[in-house]
Amino acid sequence: MTESSTSKPKLSRNVIALGFVSLLTDASTEIVYPFLPFFLIALGAGATFIGLIEGIAETTASLLKLVAGHVSDRMRARKKLIVFGYGLSGLTRPMMAIAFGPMHVLFVRFLDRVGKGFRGAPRDALIADATDPAIRGKAFGFHRAMDHMGAVIGPLIAFALLAISQPVGSEAIQADTYRLIFWAATIPAGLAVLVLILFVREIAPAPKENTPNGGATSFLTLAPFDARFKGYLLALAIFTLGNSSDAFLLLRASELGIPTAHIPLLWVALHIVKSASSVPGSALSDRLGRSWTIRLGWAVYAVIYAGFSYADTLWHGWALFAAYGIYFGLTEGSEKAYVADLVPSELRSTAYGIHGFTIGIVALPASVLFGAIWSAYGSATAFATGGLISILASVLLTVLPVFRQSATDEHG
């Protein structure tokens, strides 16, 4: 919580513990996720079914973020929902290992995203509740850094396990080999829940006086939120419309000559940069201001997409992917800190649910739009369009009167 006025605020035990929870959980997830399409193929699934699974999974997570945020504020409790979310996701690891058909994988993947949907908004609200406003950017940056570090560790563990378990001289990977890897993923998932239960303590949001349910808003309404938060959501939605799936960046990397065998290394390199830049990038918002740092991140995004539009050699792909990680470092933690700045404590979890839902619901048409432009006019035009949309969102964030706040207003 907030330190005394005479001492420099520090990251709380809750923030540090939740960082390790995310590291362990993401390591577990990334042990499984890179091999999931290949496991499904080994079970007899086709590309259409794989796409259906991922579409259902991500839509589920987006919708449940909205529900969980609302429930958390009405209950005036965070930890119970967080434990439920991480616990449910952890249980899906052994369930994935014993799945013996594509429909079973669909069910398990659905449960995993239910867990993700339930934990996200309450967890972010708890981080905000447990942090001095002066270092909210740093706190969320630390959490994102730990999460991305898990995304580095997980694939490395997975490929090491594959090298150990795969018979010498065998090229085709059998379903049973994937099962062994998935069983290993249960270990960090279980440790994550243990850390959560033992080291994270509940911090109930302050109730709003003379208001039923402690000020919790009715479901699916923005009425209790002020114009700054609504304006930010509008700018965020427009930016997200130009922020397509990272799968397109991987396809572009392949166009530039990066071998398929090196794509996992490219992905690991991206997450290393994300992790390294998250704390300094998000902490910048504590000094420069939230909206300024977000606009800077969106500008970096526009430059990166312009770079992908004009890139024509292999090393361009590696350099642009590394620089792409800086965009995440500047924006992920800053955006979540900004939400905490703009809404009252008793509505924070609801606000984070709306924030996550906004991104999730726009992400689908964004990827469809990007894919359509790519198919019709080529990858260069698609990336240029994404960059232009991000500039439009940044301009909107700048010119709307509700965003003309002083640095003091943004930190308050």
Q: 93 in a domain, yes or no?
A: yes
If asked whether residues 142 and 45 sit together in one domain, one would say yes
Range of the domain at 258: 224-412
Residue at 175: amino acid letter = A
Q: 1 in a domain, yes or no?
A: no
C-beta pairs of 400-405 under 8 Å, 24+ apart in sequence? 400/231, 400/235, 402/227, 402/228, 402/231, 403/228, 403/231, 403/232, 403/291, 405/228, 405/289, 405/291
Would you say how long the chain is, in residues?
Answer: 412
- Reported as a single tens digit per residue, the pLDDT across 134-176 is 999 999 999 999 999 999 999 888 888 877 877 655 556 777 8
Q: What is the CATH number of the domain that holds 106?
A: 1.20.1250.20
If asked whether residues 193 and 69 sit together in one domain, one would say yes
The residue ranking higher by pLDDT, 131 or 223, is 131
Weakest-pLDDT range from 22-26, 54-58, 262-266, 279-283: 54-58
Mean pLDDT of 48-53: 74
Q: 282 in a domain, yes or no?
A: yes
If asked whether residues 138 and 257 sit together in one domain, one would say no
What's the pTM? 0.86
Output the pLDDT for position 319: 94
DSSP of 91-136:
HHHHHHHT--SHHHHHHHHHHHHHHHHHHHHHHHHHHHHTS-GGGH
Output the pLDDT for position 406: 42
The band of 268, judged by pLDDT with boundaries at 50, 70 and 90, is confident
Q: 210 in a domain, yes or no?
A: no
Output the pLDDT for position 95: 96
Q: 56 in a domain, yes or no?
A: yes
Mean pLDDT of 363-371: 83
Q: 271 in a domain, yes or no?
A: yes
**Domain boundary, last residue among 142, 169, 204:** 204
Whether residue 214 is predicted with pLDDT greater than 80 in this model: the reply is no
Instruction: Work out the mean pLDDT of the chain and round it to a whole number.
Output: 87
If asked whether residues 121 and 165 sit together in one domain, one would say yes
Contacts of 3 (CB under 8 A, 6+ apart): 9, 10, 132
Helix axes 186-199, 13-32, angle to 10 degrees: 170
Q: 199 in a domain, yes or no?
A: yes
Q: Do residues 145 and 275 touch, judged by C-beta distance below 8 A? A: yes
Q: Do residues 358 and 335 touch, judged by C-beta distance below 8 A? A: no
**What is the number of structural domains in the chain?**
2
If asked whether residues 85 and 119 sit together in one domain, one would say yes
Output the pLDDT for position 169: 54
Q: 215 in a domain, yes or no?
A: no
Mean pLDDT of 89-116: 93
Mean pLDDT of 210-230: 67
Mean pLDDT of 353-382: 88
Quote the Cα angle for 295-299-305, to 5°.
Answer: 145
Q: Which residues of 254-278 are buried (b: 16+ CB within 10 A; e: fewer)?
A: eebebeeebeeebbbbbbbbbbbbb
If asked whether residues 375 and 268 sit together in one domain, one would say yes
Mean pLDDT of 245-249: 80
User: How far is Cα 104 from Cα 296, in angstroms, rounded to an integer?
Assistant: 43
Mean pLDDT of 103-118: 93
- Percent of the chain's residues with pLDDT above 90: 58
Whether residue 388 is predicted with pLDDT greater than 90 in this model: the reply is yes
Whether residue 24 is predicted with pLDDT greater than 50 in this model: the reply is yes
Mean pLDDT of 246-255: 83
